[in-house]
Amino acid sequence: MARHTATGDSKMQLEQYHAAINDYDQATRIDGDNATAYYNKGLAYEQLQQPEAAIINYNRTIELDSVRSDAYYRRGRCHLTAKNYAQATADFSRTLQIAPYYTKAYIGRADARYAQGQYTDAETDYLRATEHDPNDASAWTGSGNCRMKTKNYNGVSTNIP
């Protein structure tokens, strides 16, 4: 099992995603409770731009390890890609319940909220991201875009570090 997971990891580094998936499949056939193999297989499917297949593997990862914040985050990214905004928002929220300082989860949730026209909530998340990482340009840009959508120009210059 460990050998197949390690081999899959090596193939991921070489960007041999199909071969990595085969190794992770072998690892899960040997040990169906190998959350890491399912998670890594999800990553490989993401690299192949197959979010639905990635989601299936992240679902299994979460079944096996319900507090694995990165699995919720990655599944949220896949849902965002697939324009399943409500599910993406839920996954990013769960990520933040487990790991409150996961800056990318604030940005992901903000992106999902922005896509749904929830600009005020999105701006709140973008600003929370800047509290954790004041150098994250995407969070500042997102916040500015929300302010443009809501025509809220008050204090714009005071937000810049």
Complete domains list, the chain, with CATH: 1-66 (1.25.40.10), 85-161 (1.25.40.10)
**Closest CA relative to residue 107, chosen from 125, 82, 134:** 125
Q: How confident is the model at residue 12 (pLDDT cuts 50, 70, 90)?
A: confident
**pTM higher than 0.85 for the full model?**
yes
Q: How confident is the model over 67-119, as pLDDT tens digits?
A: 999 999 999 999 999 999 999 999 999 999 999 999 999 999 999 999 999 99
Residue 48: exposed, middle, or buried by beta-carbon count in 10 A (0-12, 13-18, 19+)? Answer: middle
**Per-residue pLDDT at 150:** 86
Q: How confident is the model at residue 9 (pLDDT cuts 50, 70, 90)?
A: confident
Average pLDDT rounded to a whole number, residues 40-58: 97
Position 55 pLDDT exceeds 80: yes
Return the structure tokens found at 132: 């954790």
